[in-house]
Chains A and B, each alone.
Chain A
Amino acid sequence: MILQAAWKNFCRQGLRAILNVLVAALTLVVAVFMVSLVNGFQDQSSKNLKKTDVAGGHYRLAEFDILSPTEWEDFVFVTPPELKKMSSDEKAEVLVQQGQLFPQNRFIPAQIRGIDLEQSLLELPLGSLKSYKGDSIPAIIGTKMAKKSNLNKGDFVVLKWRDKYGAVDAREIEIIETVRFVNPRLNDGVVWLGLKTLRDMTRRENESSWVTVKSNQGEIKELSFLVPDVLMKDVIELAKHDRRNSMIMWIILMVLCCISVFNSQMLNAFKRQKEAGTLLALGMTPGQLTKMFVLEGSFTAVGAVVLAFVLGIPFFSWFQTVGLDISHLKDSTIPVTENIRLVFDPKQIVNCLLTATLMIVFASWLPARKISRIDPSRALVGKAF
């Protein structure tokens, strides 16, 4: 009976109820949108990182640190047979060495990165290194590096490096391509060569700085296995940061929504004090009365959830077809260049809906609590407050 009465009362509010439901529903849609957009960003950037660099993890020496270029040559290892025997779609050997480029007699420190050109585990736009027929050392650089070093396709530039034994070596290399990497980390300061070329250049037969693998191959002597989450720590943290910011925005939105519900409930309490007084006089307990008012408010939450689905589904379906364009970020350090699409996590959505419902119920309970405490005799003459 309370439920029915509450429903009737809710319906009678008309436009006010609709507006409350609309605000709450839009808040929910925005919340789900923001959370899913961050998911989409994280998903896409980790997908790109995995596709171009991380894959299923790296085997490397524990001391190797990409941030210490002077130590790169000290922490290489001979690819062990366990990894060597893996097929080219399951592993990619990478050798990284320090070098210096001398474009137009300028000096630019470079990371010389050699990658197995037969590998198909990582998707890298390095095909032309394989098909090169010229006499020089073929190299590919990213667009960002090209800009920094003022080098273009077809340019020759002196590259200087040290071989395994410390002998200094230098040769002209030919920039056969400048490419746009999906993952900008493969761009900054990197000169890409074929693994065999780099190994020959540095007399490091079979040596690698790390071996990217499709999946963990278990423990390998002297090597550490770095799982993707460790290798992608910064992207995960960036998403965490974004998620935190969207959380703050969502809380602000929810507070706004709750103010709206609270406002309606307050008015209800004021306007319907005679009704409340009558119901109390007829024997309804204060608890039942509170329940009825809270139920009325809760219908806003329920309505909001329903409306959120009605509004959200077509909106999200449309958004998935276009995505969020971030093409202008191509030169930044974010490993995403495609349009970002939403990734829905049912658990997050349920959490979000549940939190919103609870907050709305709470917002409707506050004024209802007040009405249950009124004196019926005063309420009947409209002077309870």
Chain B
Amino acid sequence: MNRKGALRVPQDKLRAERKMNMLSNHKIRSVVVTIFLGISFFSFQNSYAQEIDPWKLLKAVDDNLWSNTKIISGRLSVDNGRRVRTMSVDTWMEGLENSYSFYKSPAREKGTQMLKIQNKLWLFTPRTDRKILIAGHLLRQSMMGSDLSYEDMLEDRKMSLSYDVILEKWEDVDGVRAAVLYLTAKDKEITYQSRRVWVEAKEQVVLKEERYAKSGKLLKRVTFEEYKDYSGRLFPKRMIFRDMLKNDTKTIYHFDEIQFDKDIPKKYFRQSILKR
């Protein structure tokens, strides 16, 4: 997607919006007409919704996000309300299962590595010169002090596989029309039992995501900003994570450089890589 700022809005949706504007310009006040218009708008929306298969849309989103392999150079900046701390990190990812991250800066985090193989996560720090299995209650701790837990990282999985999805409604996100998909976990062991994903349908990209407690209470919000075309694939320049139960904290993951579908040597996803 070639845009600097707002996403490109689908043409048919624009037409619908123009029609709405025209109608409102005529200031039709008759109750009958209002009802008529209401019905026609609804049926229009429905017909539009019917065109979209929410699961397919979600799958398309997943496919866009999760390529075979991905190499990311990025920065993780953690703002705890008092100070901002930025770490630069390179990540090699193979599908959903395997990923390896290497922290390059600041000096004290340099050389810290994180390896995920299937559903196991190891942490290596040069200072300790050993790998620590992140398991049990440690999973619930904050990852590198961010608003994400290690568990959040482990749960990075294809939403289309883990959740049932319905198209809930359409909503504007910063002036962009988005399909609001409501996701319900298929498995009771999934940390966030429901999510809401705002997807720009045409380009099949996520604009915003909210993660909820089982009760529906909003816990985390992730916004995806500034989509950019990386050799035919749209990827945001930034992801912003917020813990909604805390004040003034946020974590921004800046994606500075991304390469898709590059061959990554197998050694990146073996425990033996975890060394100084």
Question: B-contacting residues of A (Cβ < 8 Å)?
Answer: 70, 102, 105, 107, 158, 160, 163, 165-172, 203
**What are 13 inter-chain pairs, A to B, with CB distance below 8 A?**
A105-B245, A105-B246, A105-B247, A160-B213, A160-B245, A163-B188, A167-B190, A167-B191, A167-B193, A169-B214, A170-B213, A170-B219, A203-B188
A167 and B245 contact, Cβ closer than 8 Å, known pairs A70-B137, A158-B217, A160-B213: no
Contact (Cβ within 8 A) B189 A168: no
**Assembly CA distance A163 to B214 (angstroms):** 9
Q: Which residue, of B190, B213, B247, has the highest number of chain A Cβ atoms within 10 A?
A: B213
B:228-254 near A, CB below 8 Å: 245-247
Using C-beta atoms within 8 Å of the partner chain, give the interface range for chain B.
10 to 19
**Assembly CA distance A356 to B192 (angstroms):** 72
Question: A-contacting residues of B (Cβ < 8 Å)?
Answer: 137, 185, 188-193, 213-215, 217, 219, 245-247
Contact (Cβ within 8 A) B217 A167: no
- Name the B residues within 8 Å of A102 (CB-CB): 245-246
- Name the A residues within 8 Å of B215 (CB-CB): 169-171
Contact (Cβ within 8 A) A170 B193: no
Contact (Cβ within 8 A) B191 A166: yes
- Name the B residues within 8 Å of A160 (CB-CB): 213, 219, 245
- Name the B residues within 8 Å of A158 (CB-CB): 217, 245
Q: How far is the CB of A355 from chain B (nearest CB, A)?
A: 55
**Assembly CA distance A102 to B247 (angstroms):** 10
Contact (Cβ within 8 A) B247 A168: no
**Assembly CA distance A172 to B215 (angstroms):** 10
**Assembly CA distance A70 to B192 (angstroms):** 20
- Name the B residues within 8 Å of A107 (CB-CB): 245-246
**Assembly CA distance A66 to B142 (angstroms):** 24
Contact (Cβ within 8 A) B185 A167: yes
Contact (Cβ within 8 A) B189 A165: yes
* B136: nearest chain-A partner, CB-CB: A70
- Name the A residues within 8 Å of B219 (CB-CB): 160, 168, 170
**Assembly CA distance A47 to B246 (angstroms):** 42
**Assembly CA distance A170 to B215 (angstroms):** 6
- Name the B residues within 8 Å of A105 (CB-CB): 245-247
**Assembly CA distance A51 to B85 (angstroms):** 52
Q: A105-B246, A168-B191, A171-B215 are in contact. List 16 more A-B contacts (CB 8 A).
A: A70-B137, A102-B245, A105-B245, A105-B247, A107-B246, A158-B217, A160-B219, A166-B191, A167-B185, A167-B192, A167-B193, A168-B213, A168-B214, A169-B215, A170-B213, A170-B215
**Assembly CA distance A165 to B193 (angstroms):** 11
**Assembly CA distance A171 to B212 (angstroms):** 11
Contact (Cβ within 8 A) A167 B247: no
Q: Which of B137, B188, B213, B217 contacts A165 (CB 8 A)?
A: B188
Q: How far is the CB of B213 from chain A (nearest CB, A)?
A: 4
Q: How far is the CB of B235 from chain A (nearest CB, A)?
A: 28
**Assembly CA distance A159 to B185 (angstroms):** 22
Q: How far is the CB of B146 from chain A (nearest CB, A)?
A: 16
Contact (Cβ within 8 A) A168 B245: no
Contact (Cβ within 8 A) A171 B245: no
Contact (Cβ within 8 A) B189 A167: yes
* A69: nearest chain-B partner, CB-CB: B137
Q: Which residue, of B191, B193, B217, has the highest number of chain A Cβ atoms within 10 A?
A: B217
